[in-house]
Amino acid sequence: MDEEKLTLTVDEAAAALGIGRTLAYEKCRTGELPSLKIGRRILISRVALQRMLEECGAAKRATVE
């Protein structure tokens, strides 16, 4: 299996997105940032995050055209 983790912590996702930790937690709470809760931990799937960013980019390109 690949050495890259399948999930990111909220802090890791926030850093990757260039947003603050508090905003990342808020976006998880509202569902704007795809997340899952396992026990007390909140994790963000790398695949779901990438898909969200691709869909956002596609929607922006569609409005420009």
Q: What is the mean pLDDT of the chain?
A: 90
Which DSSP helix (H) or strand (E) runs through 13?
helix 10-17
State the pLDDT at residue 64.
66
Beta bridge partners, 9, equal 43
Each residue of 39-55: pLDDT tens digit? 999 999 999 999 999 98
Domain boundaries, the chain: 7-64
CB distance 53 to 18 below 8 Å: no
State the pLDDT at residue 57.
80
Orientation of helix 21-30 relative to helix 10-17, angle to 10°: 110
- Tell me, which fold does domain 7-64 have in CATH? Arc Repressor Mutant, subunit A (1.10.10)
Of the two residues 24 and 4, the one the predictor is more confident about is 24
